[in-house]
Structure 1
Amino acid sequence: MKSEESGEDTDSVMVARAMMACVAAVGEYCHEYMFKQPSRHGEDKRAKFINSIIKASDRDCVTQLRMNRATFFDLCTQLHEKAVLRDTRRVSHEEHSIMFLRTLGHSVRNRVIGHRFIRSGETVSRHFHSVLDAIVSLYPIFIKQAGPATPSEIQTNTNWAAYFQEGSASDARVLHNALSRSDDPLLVPYRKYYIVDAGYAHSPGFMAPYQGVRYHLQEYRTGRAPANMKELFNYRYAQLLNAIERCFGVMKGRFPILKTAMQYEFHTQIQIVIACCRMLDKMSSDPSTPTHSPA
């Protein structure tokens, strides 16, 4: 009987010790990761770096964030007021935006941003996605599908007005998805056209160049003028396509992340492209924004 009681006491002691060890481990985790006080040295270093970007000069701000200070603060205001991007207990919405813009504008990984801002990789990732979601949520407000009116850049240009109306497309699968998706499908305005390259068939709403006729712009730079109506059409087509491709070149220059194989899920990659389009539109009025990749 005493042996059984002794065994039960031993079991009780072991359970109690295990419970105490668990409580101690949870307490240590909470102290280390949930309730820890940030390092004052780290806070000062982070604040100094942030101020060197957004409070020193437009030149520094453009170098780091690809936009000047006025454009940056206007973007922060819009995200804060219209997209409900809020400060957290330790990270302001301005810092959220700076980490996000440096990621896109310099194509750096989370661990690089985390080291520079003295933040964990989880914190950087969480705030990157919070800013990304906020910018994408503004997409319907600032980016509209083409309407029935012909853009003045085309309507007033005698080289293009007689032939073309709108935009471009680049890949058959992307085009099919854009036309067939149930959520906000691509709409082609009546009697308007998107130009498409020679890999596409000429079809209603999508205008391709004539086949078997000089097509690339460099083919017309040898000094020989278009010899007939089809060559003239293809020449005007190539000029317009070149202008469109330069627009994509500008966006890739400002956001080098678009040039790399992004280490994000496919849905996030789509959001990043939308966000870059939104910010490129935002920065179009900023003459100090460079069109090349940062050094």
Structure 2
Amino acid sequence: MGAYGSLFFYQWLYQIRSRIDKSQRHSSVLYGKRRVDEILQGHVKNCLVAFRMEPHIFELLASYLRRGNLIKDKTIKVEEKLGFFLYMLSHNASFDDLQLEYQHSGWTFHEYIKSFFDIIPILSCRFLRHQSIDEPHPKIAGDPRFFPYFENCIGAIDGTHVPMTVTPDKAAPFRNRKGTLSQNVMVACDFDLNFTFISCGWEGLATDARVLQSAMNHGFKVSEGKFYLFDGGYANTTSFLAPYRGVRYHLKEFGHGRHRPQNYKELFNLWHAVLRNHVERAIRILKKRFPILRVGTYHQIENQVKIPAATTVFRNIIRMHKGDEKWLDNQPNNIPPIEFVDLPDDDDHQHGHRAEGNYNFISFEPSQPDITQVEYDVEEEEAEEADTDELQILEEGDVVGARVGEKRVAAADPGGMDEQVGEKRVPTAGPALPWKEAKKPKKTGDAMVEVMQQYVNIKKKQAEDEVALLTKESAGSTNGQEFSISKCISLVHKMDSIACHERARAFKVFKNAKNRETFITSAAEDEESAVMWRRSEMAELPT
């Protein structure tokens, strides 16, 4: 091609390219931060729908993340990054959805969403913990249905399935009995409906018992003398109490128009189900607030398994600040129900021979690479150490409570997650809600409560009678050998005055211990008198 040809070609290429529309994609005036600010400063319902929490809780959480250097301010502020992540959880938003809503590039959302997934292990360690409480929970101590039978119960455990999106070559162990793909998630909660533990990532084929055993192998422990409640999918141990098998258990089986408990096993199962219903209720509320737990997502497997943990952490924080949950009752789902995945019921128990737990994640194990993100500047560390009476370092636990004598009061967390109570902040194991003194059991006229009390009294009386009987038998063992049946029979055979046909009937007289003693004692003094007494006793026997 000559010089003129080259010139013509480039001129033609320029004309073609100049016709291409080079309009900017992210052109909205509500760019990122302005969009988040509009939601936070607008009607509270807008924030509830977009981020599933009230504006003041959102701002406290952002401040906490900033102060702990878990998420840092750079070109984009912490509030905006938190808005990205919560919007994704609330709407199962893809990166394209986020670009449309917040007008940033896909790379921006990829980086910041990943940064939040990286700190979920740290947050779950801090906010999913059980408080160390010696006294029975007020809901148990103040209710004669449960106290003293469940006074050492500290919560309930249940398993639930959460959808997974995996490639066909990895799908087999995730395929549950409904034929869909899911992970088997185990959660524990207390009677304030706070989540205290979570194990995620086990494949959908894994049994509940296997998930629990794995959690125990990785640090999930129950204080000595305490126990959790769970359903029939688990085995009874000293730390975990299951209901009786073979009789009614679920609350719907004792519902309106149905028979009341017919025996002590059904009565125990009824009270057991009432208490264990706390964890079922907590799971229902969690999935209503974050319907992403009902659908497949767009993330890598390693991040998908952290989504249930992230939602439980945020819900605990919301409850800690008394966030509203009643609005969820009449709130339509952010995600169309038609997208919900058909999952096994929590009561479905299946075999898990192909489940390996390769992606298992529990709230007691923050991964080491994630911890590197929590780095304090030297000046910040010195400032915090100088003020330890007011603030506690994040590693000590963020949600705090103070215990004075027999009372518990709510206190502030070191990252500003709550308002301060008193002059100091004292670290504790997990989220602290106001803890009221246990009320004395109230008198009640409930017939089933009376039946339960009568049953307990009967068992106590039986135990006392058995002890008394054993004591009496032990004391009389010597006399029993002295006046035995064999000795009576031996004396009868030595008495020539007793005919053979009389001896057979005489043996019936000796079944009574007093008769044996009378016969042996009288025979030692006067054999003839003993024979006459024996014949008179034989005459009274039924023919």
TM-score, structure 2 length as denominator?
A: 0.44
* Counterparts of residues 115-194 of structure 1 (less than 5 Å): 115-145=100-130, 147-149=132-134, 150-164=136-150, 165=153, 166-170=155-159, 171-181=208-218, 185-194=219-228
Partner of 1:77, secondary structure, is: helix
Deviation at 1:269, TM superposition (A): 3.0
Deviation at 1:282, TM superposition (A): 1.1
Matched, 1:226 2:212: no
Partner residue in 2 for 1:262: 297
Residue deviations 1:96-128, cap 9 Å, x none?
000100111122222211221122222212111
Give the partner amino acid of 2:132: G
Deviation larger for 205-214 or 112-121: 112-121
Deviation at 1:213, TM superposition (A): 0.8
CA distance in structure 2 between the partners assigned to 1:293 and 1:87 by the alignment: 34
Q: Number of matched residues?
A: 254
Percent sequence identity is 28
CA distance in structure 1 between the partners assigned to 2:253 and 2:25 by the alignment: 63
Partner of 2:156, secondary structure, is: strand
Residue deviations 1:142-195, cap 9 Å, x none?
3323535333333323333334312213322221110112xxx11111121111
1:79–1:134 CA contact under 8 A, matched in 2: no
Distance 1:240 1:64, change over 3 A: same
Give the partner amino acid of 1:230: K
Give the partner amino acid of 1:174: V
Partner residue in 2 for 1:66: 52
Distance 1:81 1:152, change over 3 A: same
* Counterparts of residues 73-88 of structure 1 (less than 5 Å): 73-88=59-74
CA distance in structure 2 between the partners assigned to 1:256 and 1:293 by the alignment: 10
| Unaligned residue ranges in structure 1 (runs of 5+) | 1-37
Distance 1:254 1:174, change over 3 A: same
CA distance in structure 1 between the partners assigned to 2:73 and 2:326 by the alignment: 27
Deviation at 1:41, TM superposition (A): 4.0
Deviation larger for 100-109 or 68-77: 100-109
Distance 1:263 1:98, change over 3 A: same
Partner residue in 2 for 1:250: 285
CA distance in structure 1 between the partners assigned to 2:333 and 2:39 by the alignment: 15
- Pick one of 235, 255, 260 that aligns with 1:201: 235
Partner residue in 2 for 1:25: none
CA distance in structure 2 between the partners assigned to 1:286 and 1:255 by the alignment: 14
Distance 1:46 1:138, change over 3 A: closer
Partner of 1:213, secondary structure, is: coil
Matched, 1:281 2:316: yes
2:293–2:308 CA contact under 8 A, matched in 1: yes
**Which is helix-richer, 1 or 2?**
1
2:158–2:279 CA contact under 8 A, matched in 1: no
**Which is strand-richer, 1 or 2?**
2
Partner residue in 1 for 2:307: 272
CA distance in structure 2 between the partners assigned to 1:124 and 1:146 by the alignment: 36
CA distance in structure 2 between the partners assigned to 1:51 and 1:76 by the alignment: 13
1:66–1:289 CA contact under 8 A, matched in 2: no
2:229–2:240 CA contact under 8 A, matched in 1: yes
Distance 1:146 1:212, change over 3 A: farther
Residue deviations 1:191-210, cap 9 Å, x none?
21111211222122111110
Partner of 2:67, secondary structure, is: helix
Structure with larger Rg: 2
CA distance in structure 2 between the partners assigned to 1:268 and 1:121 by the alignment: 17
CA distance in structure 1 between the partners assigned to 2:241 and 2:58 by the alignment: 39
CA distance in structure 2 between the partners assigned to 1:269 and 1:113 by the alignment: 18
Residue deviations 1:213-260, cap 9 Å, x none?
111111111342112111101011121222220111111111111112
Partner residue in 1 for 2:39: 53
CA distance in structure 2 between the partners assigned to 1:133 and 1:191 by the alignment: 36
Deviation at 1:274, TM superposition (A): 1.9
Deviation at 1:134, TM superposition (A): 3.3
RMSD of the TM alignment (CA)? 2.4
2:44–2:55 CA contact under 8 A, matched in 1: yes
CA distance in structure 2 between the partners assigned to 1:257 and 1:85 by the alignment: 23
Partner of 1:71, secondary structure, is: helix
Distance 1:210 1:261, change over 3 A: same
